[in-house]
Chains A and B, each alone.
Chain A
Amino acid sequence: MPTAHDNAVTLSVLVENKAGVLARVSGLFARRGYNIISLAVAPTEDEAFSRITIVYDARSATVEQVVKQLFKLINVIRIDELEEKQAIERELLLATVRAEGNNRGRLMELVQIFEGSIVDVGYNALMVMLAGEPRRLDDFEELLRPFGIEYLQRSGRIALAQLERSAPRLRSVPKSAS
């Protein structure tokens, strides 16, 4: 399932690292009918905070409403909307792919072209890994498909704002903005 589609909006949500915060955030999306495409969460450089990267389908709600509703959660500290060209986005893909006979070499070639790696080897299958931009992962996944994908897991994307070089590139939405 490609995660880099046209209606995807990426929000980087800084939250207090407390029990139940992820449930609050995901529960809000569920309750208000906002569709999550992917979600990744882990503590930040400061253990008191976690960063949640949510990719959601903008057809299900306006960014304005989603951001404002999220801000109503007491544990949400800061929200940044990361626009694609102004953020560095990465994702990890692991897949077990059938690799028998001639296909084995062709699969290894494909992994090499994408600069991925083979992380486990079985008699009839290989487990391959690729880290990179979500769109690249989408391409890779599509090209893996004819080989026969047995299992596939993507991490969901993580993202940070691009470093500032001239004008601010990050659209920050300050708390309690009009």
Chain B
Amino acid sequence: MSLTGAQALIKSLECQGVDVVFGLPGGAILPVYDPLIESSLRHILVRHEQGAGHMAEGFAQATGRPGVAMVTSGPAATNIVTPIANAYMDSTPLVVITGQVAYSTIGTDAFQEIDTVGITRGITKHNELVSDAADIPRIVREAFHIATTGRPGPVLIDFPKDVANQQMDWYWPDQIDLPGYKPNVKGHPRMIREAASMIAAAKKPVIYAGGGILKANASSALYRFAEMTGIPVVTTLMGRGCFPDSHPLCLGMPGMHGNYTAVTAMQESDLLIALGSRFDDRVTGKLDGFAPDAKVIHVDIDPAEMNKVRFADIPIVGDARQVIEELCVAFSRLETDEFARNIEPWLGRVRFWKENYPLHYEPHVSGDRLKPQSVIEALRDSAPDGTILASGVGQHQMWASQYWKFDQPNTWINSGGLGTMGYAVPAAIGAKVGCPDKMVWAVDGDGCFQMTAQELVTAAANDIPVKIAILNNTFLGMVRQWQEMFYDERYSQVYLSPDLPNYVGWAESMGCVGIRVDEPDSVQSAIDKANEIDDRPVVVDFRTDPREKVFPMVPSGHTNWDIEVGPLPEGLPKSSITSINVEGRG
């Protein structure tokens, strides 16, 4: 069967099991958009190429399957660079297809020519310029294999227009031959046995679970491991939901804005069991003061994560699910009665922190604007089980991560490593496309919303009923918080505006329902109304208090001992926290 390169590309995507492509056509990719008409692929036409990339990411984060985006050359390729970088930082499986000028004209500065492969080399797991139509099925098959196995990540295929028009004899490769790519999934048995013994000897262990748990579908294995050992679990920003927040062993999020218990438990721990996490600087704070007494067992599929930031006493390279299952077996073979007794004081101490230092914010005072945390709590309490929550980047993201209850894996969609403002709206759309039966809320900031809001047109046009809660505090809130705390309240270029744009009017003009909420009394009714609407997107403009700051906070450059908890519940003077810190070091 003779096909054009373009037909071969579409057919390869079908063979690969792709059902949705997010994209926007243009000159160099035109040949591929023609056979798309006859194809079974669903194509979501975005309004900006960045939207296509983030939608594909949201799709991948919600479903665990690779997201696919397709755009043209030049400016389209540069517009999708941010999502590619975002997927690279968060290890999200993505296949991005970019059009390219004809192979014969590459290097001549042709119209809309850009060195896409060169630009994306450092932010893709792999990328490839197609030079011969006969290579297409192989390259597509390899791209999906590379994107989804090992440590997942984005793969880019750059597709010149003349190659798309070239004829080829169709075939589908029955195997993959990548001599330089063999991810190690099975952890070293001796290391696993040693790890089990080290765990059994620990007195103050903490499980430090990251996004790798979700990538490896290891949530249920982690659940068994935690229950079997009784070790408390912190879940990182990328790992939220990999272990249920409602479980008594769950301590919540660690790091710069983590809660007191999670941060301090790691600091005081004598053994960190890092599972699919990478000692990110937002988790560790100042590195040389991070968990100073802890030994480290580090489980990760990426060998380069071992000893990259923190020395691992026991490094185990492998798939998180397989290794955790093996760890369960190895641990169950040990005599662990003594272990259970040994960690009892530690568990008591952790419980004490949990009870005495919960997340807290000052209650609403009449006349003030809404407390953003209370809005998230109200959203959370009204959301059906399994609701997917997306967010942008900034204060609202931290509050969402802190105050939502994540009890299921793959229900938290956010930009962790790159911190891409504007992620929420397109990512929520992608998640809803992947999981049409689940309710999808995005918590967004007013700054973030203005970066990518136009994708709500895409959502309205394609019947993708996502719900957006804007925490409209009229500021670039996180920057404002830093200027308040660390720049003597010298506010520089952080004020936006409450009414410019008119969010309700903007939402309506994009085919969404727009609702504005000023008073605490109307929060619930607005949420109820939004939850009932299922035929179009909804945008709720919550007017929140700009003075509200994210706490706890470890100031940048400080060790995690210097955690500031912010306002405390009644009857607990702040000085008592400090004294506990000091004691804690002993």
Contacts and interface: CB of A to CB of B under 8 A. Distances in A.
Interface of A: 15-16, 19-20, 23-24, 27-28, 31, 62, 64-65, 68-69, 71-77, 175-178
Contacts of B188: 178
Contact of B122 (A15, A27, A76, A175): A27
B181 A27 contact: no
B179 A16 contact: yes
B138 interface: no
Q: How large is the interface on B (under 10, 10 to 19, 20 to 34, 35 or more residues)?
A: 20 to 34
Given A176-B317, A178-B191, A178-B315, A16 B180 contact: yes
Given A20-B117, A23-B118, A27-B122, A76 B180 contact: yes
Main SS class of interface, A: mixed
Contact of B304 (A31, A69, A77): A69
Given A19-B129, A20-B117, A74-B181, A65 B304 contact: yes
Interface string B164-192: 00000000000000111111100010010
B121 A178 contact: no
Nearest to A71: B303
A33 B180 CA distance: 24
A19 to B, nearest CB: 7
A128 B565 CA distance: 71
A50 to B, nearest CB: 12
Given A19-B129, A24-B121, A76-B180, 5 more contacts: A20-B121, A77-B179, A176-B303, A177-B317, A178-B184
B122 A176 contact: no
B114 interface: no
B210 to A, nearest CB: 18
Contacts of B181: 74
30 contacts: A16-B179, A16-B180, A19-B129, A19-B131, A20-B118, A20-B121, A24-B121, A27-B121, A27-B122, A28-B122, A62-B307, A64-B307, A65-B304, A65-B308, A68-B306, A69-B304, A71-B303, A72-B125, A72-B302, A74-B125, A74-B146, A75-B180, A77-B179, A175-B180, A176-B303, A177-B184, A177-B303, A177-B317, A178-B184, A178-B306
Contacts of B191: 178
A105 to B, nearest CB: 50
Interface in B97-149: 117-118, 121-122, 125-126, 129, 131, 146
B464 interface: no
A70 to B, nearest CB: 9
B303 A68 contact: yes
